Amino acid sequence: MGKVYITGAGPGDPELLTVKAFKIIQNADVILYDRLINEEILNYRKKEAILIYVGKEDGKHTIPQQEINQFLYDYALQYDVVVRLKGGDPFVFGRGGEECLFLAERGIEFEVIPGVTSAISVPAYTGIPVTHRGIASSFRVVTGHEAPDKENSSIDWESMKANETIVFLMGLHNIEKIMDKLIQIGKNPKTPVAVIHAGTTENQLVIVGEIDNISKLAKDVPTPALIVIGDVVKLRDKINWFDAKLLKC
């Protein structure tokens, strides 16, 4: 019986792959990968490795999660090294925990290889530190997949009044509703917001605005994109290093 490696592939820049993930990709017999993986990373595999695309878009699986779980189980019975490769970190909205539970319940050995999450690294590549002394002492990462008007939401909207950095993943489709909700709970409508597409890659695109105008400014931004809200966004004016680097290339 083989082992399954629930592995983070990082946010896009292939060099943000961990050494551990790099080594396991080189050894993999089977790789099941998601849409947000930079395909360059797959080139590290052995020639004979089996590649299986189980892409999902903004949290919506084209292949149901239950089927992916079953694939992992079935391949683990047949091959030694099964790699489940996910964008960013497997436990940050990656359903990695569900896959671990499924395997654990069936006695399949597994290991988790954390990855560089987009929630922190994508803002970093646009010159936005998620915490900064005197500006933000905490940050939270929230799913934007759930509409803010959903009843019995498990998201604590009221507490977002606090002066901290908020990062929404999977929130582009709901951006207008999210911004309306933040105004409704009493957040300052002039709080800076950045919407970042394809962060850490050469296609990175950043739109900056405020809570009360960002949904209009960012209406044509494609996915994948994340939303960063908070005064730390202003630091970008001075810290933005990646765009400068791209211009030099």
Residues lying near ligand SAH in the complex (CB under 6 A) = 11-12, 36, 58, 86-89, 92-94, 117-119, 122, 169-170, 196-200, 223-226
* Annotated catalytic residue, options 34, 89, 179, 187: 34
**Catalytic residue list contains 1:** no
Q: 90, 96 in Cβ contact below 8 A?
A: yes
Query: What is the Cα–Cα distance from 245 to 88, expressed in whole angstroms?
Result: 22
Among the listed residues 131, 181, 188, 125, the one whose alpha carbon sits nearest the alpha carbon of residue 158: 181
Give min distance, CB of 42 to ligand SAH, in A. 17
Q: Residue 239 CB, nearest distance to ligand SAH (Å)?
A: 18
Shortest distance, CB of residue 137 to ligand SAH, whole angstroms? Answer: 22
Which of residues 195 and 235 has its CB atom nearest to ligand SAH in the complex? 195
Give CA–CA dist 87/118, Å, rounded: 8
Q: Assess whether 160 carries a catalytic annotation.
A: no
Measured torsion, CA atoms of residues 24, 126, 180, 184, in degrees rounded to the nearest 10: 100
Shortest gap between Cβ of 1 and ligand SAH (angstroms)? 27
Q: Which is nearer to ligand SAH, 2 or 59 (CB)?
A: 59
DSSP readout, 144-196? SSS-TT-TT-SS--GGGGSSSEEEEES-GGGHHHHHHHHHHTT--TT-EEEEE
With beta carbons less than 8 A apart as the criterion, state whether 71 and 182 touch.
no
Chain residue whose CB lies nearest ligand SAH: 88
Q: Is 215 helix (H, G, I), strand (E, B) or coil?
A: helix
The active-site residue, picked from 170, 179, 181, 187, is 170
Given the complex with ligand SAH, which of 77 and 101 has the nearer CB atom? 101
Name the residue nearer to ligand SAH (CB basis): 27 or 223. Answer: 223
Catalytic residue set:
34, 56, 170
